[in-house]
Amino acid sequence: MDFRMKVSVKKIIMGVLACFGLGQAALAESIPDFKNMLRAAEQGDPEAQLSIGAMYANGQGISQDHRLAVQWFRKAAEQENAQAQFNLGVMYQLGQGVGQDYVQAAEWYRKAAEQGDSGAQNNLGMLYQNGQGVSQDYAQAAKWFYRAADQENTAAQLNLGLLYANGQGVERDYAQALKWFRRAAEHGDAAGQYNLGLAYANGKGGRQDYTQAIEWYRKAAEQGNVDAQYNLGGMYASGKGVRQDYVQAIEWYRKAAEQGDMVAQLNVGVMYANGQGVEQDYVQAVKWYRKAAEQGNAKAQYNLGVMYANGQGVYKDDAQAVRWYYKAAEQGVAQAQFNLGIMYDQGKGVRQDDVQAVHWYRKAAEQGYAEAQYNFGVMYANGEGVRQNYKIAKEWFGKACDNGIQLGCDAYRELNQAGY
């Protein structure tokens, strides 16, 4: 039930698709204005065509109609209007007003990118990074991210930093990653702030500095970045860069938990169970364990099983304990495997079954779980669920003894004296 820091660099899932930019184009404040703009668009004015397209795309002043938006963007784009080319690329990428078509999206982004549009440069980089509409090519992604980043495109600065951090398309260079994360962070980008905090926390690209890590995590966390909220909670829980403060820890874990982060949900449950930063409350612990467990978090599944086995926060229910132990055990949690073995051994919540008890003791024992090693030895010594074999029993008693189980030492000595 330990606290776990997230230390992996996180990617933005899609990068940032810039909004449909109206640039210098005016919004329709009245029907006559719209009619005048429409007349100009029909006469071939690309700025008017762009504006009419944006109005249809956003439903500003007129009914939203993506199909008509595409038509007007295309007219302006074919006249080399970079903003229209970018917007047309967005429509193809999202499949709005046209069938989704990454090849067409890449084509229109490229046209706008070659005219210097930073949003198009960033989005073209994303297509190269993901292999959408073009062959995956991290070097090309880096090229286009750099062009956009150099124009202070915040999303591209973040994306370029991620490529340097991961060594994709460029040589891994944490100092460069730090540089670009900082530029994005200073523009107020939450993901940039999170990654900058992560770099400081891990000492990547510069000296490890927990105080700086907390500063940048906090900036991102206050913008709702779930990973920053989680890590800020972790800093308060562990007392890194700040005085240990469980009240602050659970506050930030809870924010992340409420956004669905299952590890944060687990940690909120742990803190309620232990009374850390809050009054001990097993009902609340169960609530948060369940949220994480239902998302597949193995430790939460184990902890929920323990709560059912002990009747803490819920009515005691061995069958439910077995259910949750099983889910955690299947994911390799040694404690759950051991407890599941106990349940089969004693017939609690399940029909007594020595073979199944041996099966689960073995899995936990092979992971080095000392109590399971001892019980596994006992099963061989007694011939329960397996053929009796004192030599194998002695071997496992020895392992348990080495891991601090005195009963294992006593059993090993007894079998040794008996000549096994």
Residue 110 CA to residue 85 CA, distance in Å, equals 9
Question: What's the pLDDT score for residue 60?
Answer: 86
Kindly report, residue by residue over 275-302, the tens digit of the pLDDT.
999 999 999 999 999 999 999 999 999 9
pLDDT class of 32 with cuts at 50, 70, 90:
low
Total-model pTM = 0.86
Which residue type, as a one-letter code, is found at position 374? Y
Kindly report, residue by residue over 118-137, the tens digit of the pLDDT.
999 999 999 999 999 999 99
Average pLDDT value for residue range 22-45: 67
Question: What's the pLDDT score for residue 278?
Answer: 97
Specify the domain boundaries for CATH 1.25.40.10 within the chain. Answer: 12-159
Residue 134 CA to residue 88 CA, distance in Å, equals 17
Measuring CA to CA, how many Å separate 259 from each of 14, 63, 234, 255, 265? Answer: 19, 34, 16, 7, 9
Question: What's the pLDDT score for residue 7?
Answer: 30
Residue 389's SS3 state is coil
CATH of range 12-159; options 1.10.760.10, 3.60.10.10, 2.30.22.10, 1.25.40.10: 1.25.40.10
C-alpha R_g of the chain: 30
Question: What's the pLDDT score for residue 308?
Answer: 98
Residue 54, pLDDT > 50, answer: yes
Question: What's the pLDDT score for residue 361?
Answer: 98
Question: What's the pLDDT score for residue 23?
Answer: 34
Residue 96 CA to residue 123 CA, distance in Å, equals 16
Average pLDDT value for residue range 238-242: 95
Instruction: Provide the token pair at 174.
Output: 């944490």
Mean pLDDT score across all residues of the chain: 91
Average pLDDT value for residue range 105-113: 97
Question: What's the pLDDT score for residue 132?
Answer: 97
Kindly report, residue by residue over 339-369, the tens digit of the pLDDT.
999 999 999 999 999 999 999 999 999 999 9
Residue 335 CA to residue 325 CA, distance in Å, equals 9
Kindly report, residue by residue over 152-194, the tens digit of the pLDDT.
999 999 999 999 999 999 999 999 999 999 999 999 999 999 9
Average pLDDT value for residue range 79-96: 96
Check: CB of residue 348 under 8 Å from CB of residue 354.
no
Question: What's the pLDDT score for residue 14?
Answer: 29
Residue 29, pLDDT > 50, answer: no
Check: CB of residue 89 under 8 Å from CB of residue 74.
no
